[in-house]
Amino acid sequence: MPSIAHLIYIPGILLVGFAFGFRMGARAVRAELERREQERRR
């Protein structure tokens, strides 16, 4: 049976990973949209 530390640590690490991934993904999407907008203006 997992200890209480595992029940706190593992979901915490997953939440940090999701937040980090969401932030990096959102930044990449914004950069791509800006690149396409500049390309369209030419």
pLDDT at 35: 96
Answer yes or no: is pLDDT of 2 > 90: no
Q: Of 20 and 5, which is predicted with more confidence? A: 20
Distance between CA atoms of residues 22 and 15, nearest Å:
10
User: pLDDT (tens digit, 9 = 90+) per residue, 11-38?
Assistant: 999 999 999 999 999 999 999 999 999 9
Instruction: Give me 21's structure tokens.
Output: 């991934």
pLDDT at 39: 94
pTM score, two decimals? 0.69
Q: Is the backbone of residue 32 left (phi > 0), alpha (psi -120 to 50) or beta? A: alpha
